Amino acid sequence: SMPQLPADIIRKIIAYRPDCIKQFKLTSKLFYNLVREYLEDRRNMPALHKLKFKKMAGGGITITFEVQSIYIHFYPRLQARNPKYVEKMNGVNKTYKLYFSVLTSDEKMFNDLRMSTSLNVNHVEFVRMGDSEGTARNIARNLLKDVDVPRFTYKYLKFKQKESERIVADIGTYGVSKLEIHVKNVELSDPHSFLMFLTGLVDAIGIHQHANFKSNYFFGMRNVVFDTLIRKMFNRQASKIRIICPFYPAYPTARSVASLARTSACLSLSHDLSQPHL
């Protein structure tokens, strides 16, 4: 019968139908043990939907694993930690958010989380992780070692030179093709050149400028002519751009965006800046 198959054959069956591992675990003790062995290898884990790092005021980190519900049984280590669960709908897909609040000194916890991190993560988000050389950021780097991440989101109150250098390094390290930056204050010596440089590194870029006490302010620049800026950005590598700066007096209207799309061969209506996602 099937449970009496040799271990090597069972391993091949599990690898061929990983979507059935939940059922395989119930087949026999041998199947159960070989499924556990299969799940210990991070290369076998399906891509995580999202991984979020948020620095806490007390020095720890909140790490959120967002997993598609159909893959939740691939993460027994995470479930064994009894995290807080939140169910969420992403379009037609259901995901689970698993929250872990961790002190930076808890090495065992971080090792467990690292071993539970797939080598493919669809989206990583950093919130208030501005200390590019600090303990919290180093922990995040260790968790993401050898991981491919096509999309990164960064959220800062103050965006300084160190953060800009870290973003450039992350793009190269993780193979980032989609980049989103949320900022309030930008403290760069030449924000325009940096924005152009970033636009030449990725396929899609989004800048969300949060309310700032300075008038006519966008990404560290004053009195921006958005039509000109957007044309320059599209002359770089990025084929999709999203800019959110709704309180800016000269923020482009839907009509001006449509005009941009008509007057430049590299633009199309699919580059509508009002689109909610990159």
Please tell me which of 33-37, 86-90, 104-108, 234-238 the model is most confident about, judged by mean pLDDT.
33-37
- In whole angstroms, what is the distance from residue 188 CA to residue 207 CA? 15
- In whole angstroms, what is the distance from residue 266 CA to residue 232 CA? 11
- On whether the pTM is more than 0.95, the answer is no
- Find the angle CA(104)-CA(106)-CA(109) to the nearest 5 degrees: 115
- In whole angstroms, what is the distance from residue 225 CA to residue 250 CA? 7
Residue 229: what are its φ and ψ, rounded to 5°?
-60, -45
- In whole angstroms, what is the distance from residue 28 CA to residue 32 CA? 6
- In whole angstroms, what is the distance from residue 49 CA to residue 249 CA? 36
pLDDT 10s digits, 121-138: 999 999 987 655 567 777
- In whole angstroms, what is the distance from residue 66 CA to residue 60 CA? 19
CB 50 within 8 Å of CB 121: yes
pLDDT 10s digits, 178-194: 999 999 989 999 999 99
CB 64 within 8 Å of CB 52: yes
Q: What are the beta bridge partners of residue 89?
A: 94
H helix count then E strand count, the chain: 10, 13
- Torsion angle (degrees, nearest 10) of CA 102, 107, 113, 117: 130
pLDDT 10s digits, 42-85: 888 888 999 999 988 766 788 999 998 888 888 888 888 777 77
Single-letter amino acid code for the residue at 11: R
| The two structure tokens encoding residue 254 | 């839907």
For the cut 70, the answer to whether the pLDDT of residue 272 exceeds it is no
Class of residue 154 by CB neighbours under 10 A (exposed 0-12, middle 13-18, buried 19+) = buried
Q: List the alpha helices (DSSP H) in 127-264.
A: 135-143, 161-174, 191-199, 226-234, 254-263
| The two structure tokens encoding residue 242 | 């999203």
Boundaries of every domain in the chain: 1-40, 43-271
